[in-house]
Structure 1
Amino acid sequence: MFIGFILLVIGGEFIIRSSVALSLKLNLSKLVIGMTVVAFATSLPELIVSINAAINDSPSIAINNVIGSNIANIGLVLGLTCIIGNMYVEKSFYRIDWPIMFIFSIILYAIIARDNIIDQYDGIVLFSLLIIFIIFILRSSLKTYQQDSIDNNLIHSTNFKIILWLIIASLSLYYGAEWLVYGAINFAEQIGVSEAVISVSIVAIGTSIPELATSLLAIVKNEKGISLGNLIGSNIFNIGSVLGITSIIKPIVVDDTEILSRDIIWMLVFAVLVLLIAIFPKKNVIGKIKGFFLLFLYSIFILLAFA
């Protein structure tokens, strides 16, 4: 399972590098690259893991990988990032990013609560809503996801390098997801907990490592490209693309009752919490104290998950 983690990190890094390099060569704008290419690339680890889990009849891993990743993005990634340096909230967070993320979260809850299954029609709806969201963002140009953090030097990459990166990324993501899923299943059996618990915690953290590494590195380098909107956008993409595409390929049966009664509730709690800490007590700034609070709450979530 540990090797699976490492391969997913390697695959995530190379898929972003190759995708951005290819997009720059095609003269796509940074806005388009950030909102589409990079957003999809950073969600590929979650997507491959969820598809692999669904095909191997492990629906709990398929769904909780996304739920856990969305929780980790706010509790773990945002928490650690803000402990190292302040994160500033842009106006579009209140008008666009957060409302859209919360709507996607509520829709996911409603779909699962309806009949405990995310079928192909649900997947089409989720993915279609994501496409509408992307088109709206691109047309309005109110938000530029990760555009400042895109490495312009990648435009000088040779075609051979890009192809090599794509091959490395593809192999790493495929085998990383394969070993991570099987490792998670075996680990759950060994310690006597459900697949849902392992997937919402360990697997989710593993698939969130690329976002965590990118956010921490950006803060250390004092780059402004990583913002709260980027993490919120990642959560939107996880629901719309990962669960959308996975359920289109194979319907996801939610057979673990705790996913609806516990895990997704925590996801909604963190979704509401991120809005509150962005407003109170000091609006538009999330600093160390708020970061420690998020990390503390995330630790409680992990402890309760294994309790």
Structure 2
Amino acid sequence: MLLSWLAVAAGLTLLVFAADRFIFGSAGLARSLGVSPLVIGMVIVGFGTSAPEMAVSALAAVQGNPGISIGNAIGSNLANTALILGFCALLRPVLVKHTVLKIELPMVLGVSVAVWLMCVDGALTYRDGAVLALGLVGFLGWMLISAQRGEAPIEIEGELPPAIPTVQAVIWIVVGLVLLIASSQLLIWGAVNIARAFGVSDLVVGLTVVAIGTSLPELAASVAGLLKGEDDIALGNILGSNLFNLLAILQAPAWLAPGPLPEGVLYRDLPMMIAITLAVLVFAWSARGRAPRINRVEGGILMVAYVGYTAYLIHTSPITG
């Protein structure tokens, strides 16, 4: 058991490093090739923090562990919205721009509901993967067009990596990809062993241990943005990651391991994700006479809800394979 936990810890640590190196190489190469800084910042750097989720979900689906793959995507959204945003609000109330309140938050809620409706038939299929792919393309297009107009729909934290020689960039890209695959394999091996030892399903481990671990980059970026007084960055990282998890990460099981959803996803996990997102929207709207915000009490509610949900998962979920 100790070896399995060490594998999970090592896998998560390597995932973060691998994602950073992959982003560094990709962004450096793009800058050297003259790609627009806007495209680099919004697409490569902006979504680079989701590279761990993508790597883990794809590898888990290929290896016949769709529960980890699906649980990782949904669980990461729950961790982002309830745990990370709740923790940030406890540190300091998180201000919410009116544009975020009227556009981005409803968009995340709408996509969440759409994913639930897509899964009502009880399965993820190739057709669902195609729908998600179209949604991702539309989302990226909307982001870039809006940013070009100066509207900056999702603000991303951090300076762009510098332009670097092509050979150096390619080396870092390859190193990042290799480490992403290796660390994902290590994490999945440890997670599956832990699931079997505790008598819970792969889905539950994906929703909890794996999801929390792969959300660490979002936690770091959001807390750093909040401490700098840049609430847009703190919230922007969470919203951007949530949309990417739904539209991109869920494609992995849809394309690579299509089939029935694990028990509990449709009537427990997806509704919980929708409820938490709706709660954040209601909290922000209910700021009476003040700028929309998530205050400390509401942050505490989000964290308590996450802890309660996680405890319920662990105590009620049977082995499913």
Query: Normalized against structure 2, the TM-score is what?
Result: 0.86
With normalisation by structure 1, the TM-score equals 0.90
Aligned pair partner of 1:226 in 228, 233, 245: 233
**2:302 matches 1:294:** yes
CA distance in structure 1 between the partners assigned to 2:98 and 2:176 by the alignment: 35
1:277 is the counterpart of 2:283: yes
How far apart, CA to CA, are the structure 1 residues paired with 2:265 and 2:18? 28
* Secondary structure of the corresponding residue to residue 257 of structure 1: coil
**Does the CA-based 8 Å contact 1:47-1:242 persist in structure 2?**
yes
Q: How far did 1:34 drift?
A: 3.2
Identity of aligned residues (%): 31
Superposed displacement of residue 253, structure 1: 3.1
Unmatched 5+ stretches in structure 2: 1-7, 316-321
1:265 counterpart residue number: 271
Q: Which residue of 2 aligns with 1:8?
A: 15
Aligned partner of 2:130 among 102, 124, 128: 124
- Offset of 1:265 from its aligned partner? 1.4
1:120, CA displacement in angstroms? 1.0
**Alpha-carbon separation, structure 1, partners of 2:146 and 2:93:** 27
1:237 maps to which residue? 244
1:139 paired to 2:145: yes
Give the Å deviation of 1:288: 2.8
**How far is 1:245 from its partner?**
4.4
Superposed, which structure 2 residues align to 1:1-307 within 5 Å? 1-114=8-121, 116-141=122-147, 142-147=151-156, 149-152=157-160, 154-223=161-230, 226-254=233-261, 256-281=262-287, 282-307=290-315
Distance 1:293 1:5 in 2: 28
- SS of residue paired to 1:113: coil
**How far off is 1:156 after superposition?**
4.6
Displacement of 1:276: 1.1
Deviation at 1:235, TM superposition (A): 0.8
Change in Cα spacing, 1:12 to 1:137, as seen in structure 2 (3 Å) is same
Contact 1:66 1:238 in 2 (8 A): yes
CA-CA distance at 1:160 after TM superposition? 4.9
Describe the superposition over 1:186-226 as per-residue Cα deviations: whole angstroms up to 9, x where unpaired: 10110111111111011100110111112122323444661
Deviation at 1:162, TM superposition (A): 2.8
Tell me which moved more, 216-225 or 55-64.
Answer: 216-225
SS in 2 for 1:226: helix
Supply the distance in 2 between the matched residues of 1:25 and 1:222 (Cα, whole angstroms): 32
Q: How many angstroms does 1:89 deviate by?
A: 1.2
Letter in 1 for 2:94: M
Could you list the runs of 5+ residues in structure 1 that have no partner in the other structure?
none
Alpha-carbon RMSD = 2.1
